[in-house]
Amino acid sequence: MLIKQAKIWKFISSLKLAIWLLGIIALVSLIGTLIPQNEEEVSVYQSWWFILLIILFALNLSACLLSRLSLKNRPLGTLICHFSVLVILLGALIGMLFGQKGYLKLSRQEKANSFMASESKEVNLGFSIRLDDFIYNENIDPKEKLLIYSIQNDAVCQMDGASHKNGEEGLIAKIPTDPGTEREISATGYKIKVLRYLPDFVMDIATKKVTSRSSQANNPAIEVELRDKNGARESFWVFARYPDIHQSKTPNFNFVYHWEMRRPKDFISRVTIIKDGLEVLKKEIRVNFPLQFGGYSFFQSSYDPENLNWTGLTVVRDPGVSLVYLGFGLFILGLCIRFYINPFFKTLKK
């Protein structure tokens, strides 16, 4: 019986088993990336048998460590490395057992004091979070410009307007399209300012109200304000896709909106934390800059390009993270000792 137990212990604590387990876990993980995964299905990595493999690996690793727990023939670095893997796995286990993760969808001015950690499990935060504003910014490509052509008062030129637009002939200014800055149209006495940009211009025929149908660039347009020498203003829209239908009443200029693909720059959720009826914290949540409060972290995770009135926040509480990070640090320390610090001292001794 004892012989049998000793044999089992020898097997469990063997490096041979460790290498096989590493190989099998690697192979299974690899296959997991190749099979397409549905959101509804449980992935390979969450299946019971994969977790069983990892538990086996942890047991094997513990046994390896226990059976070789002497600094004489095991260098310190190696011990730290293997121990730290156990620390990381323990941190992950604590996260799995005691952590909470969910999703919170907030419209402007909406408050929430709980979130759904799964379909049926509601978690109470112990405070409220209110979305004050959601801001979506885009990068304007430096090549994007409003081109302004002067129109001479002869009929030939007017008729020939289309060819003007393609060439440099008659081009008197290239105006950047960032809104809010008034710029002079080179020595004409006129000033121009971009008021706003809409990626998908649409006008309600009945009310003449202008909106953006979506944030997809289906019909990019800018509203500009033109001011003449006397200070008289007029504002009108210029379309990237329809260069001939701007409504300027000034006969001197022709406008061409040279639009370039815009890329997302920022998603910002401005939120307020309310505890016991008091506003205790106001903060911006951005990608890479989560908000931490009361043991929970809020991450900017989604938004709707068609409707910028709400934001999607991921809410996480993971008590295992600090252990995982400790394991990370120990692992690197162990590797450095094993591969660099130890050999360095060995060469010194020689």
Partner 1 sequence: MNSTYLNIAFVMYFLATVFYCVGLFFRNKFLPLLGRVFILSGVLSLTLYAAMRWQVAGRPPLSNMFESLVIFAWAIGLVLLFIDLRYKIKSVSGLTALLGLLSLGYASFLDKELTPLLPALKSNWLTIHVLTCFIGYAGLTVGFIASAVILFKQKEIAKLDTIAHKVIAFGFLFLTLGIITGAVWANSAWGTYWSWDPKETWSLVTWFIYAIYLHIRFTKGWKEQKAAWLAVIGFLAMLFTYFGVNYLLSGLHSYG
Q: What would the two tokens of residue 73 be? A: 């023939």
d(CA 262, CA 174): 18
- Whichever of 76 and 210 has its CB closer to partner 1, that residue is 76
CB of 141 to partner 1, least distance (A): 9
- Whichever of 31 and 195 has its CB closer to partner 1, that residue is 31
CB of 273 to partner 1, least distance (A): 17
CB of 124 to partner 1, least distance (A): 19
DSSP annotation string for 183-232: EE-TTSS-EEEEEEEETBEEE-TTT--EEES-SS-SB-EEEEEEE-TT--
d(CA 270, CA 218): 28
- Whichever of 256 and 315 has its CB closer to partner 1, that residue is 315
Of 131, 66, 160, 76, the closest CA to residue 336 belongs to 76
Binding site for partner 1 (CB under 8 A): 15-16, 18-19, 22-23, 25-26, 29-30, 32-34, 43, 45, 92, 101, 139, 263-267, 286-288, 290, 297, 299, 301, 314-316, 318, 321, 324-325, 328, 331-332, 335-336, 339
Of 82, 27, 90, 14, the closest CA to residue 55 belongs to 90
CB of 278 to partner 1, least distance (A): 26
Q: What would the two tokens of residue 228 be? A: 């003449």
- Whichever of 18 and 172 has its CB closer to partner 1, that residue is 18
What residue has token string 């969450």?
A: 46
- Whichever of 197 and 267 has its CB closer to partner 1, that residue is 267
- Beta-bridge partners for 290: none
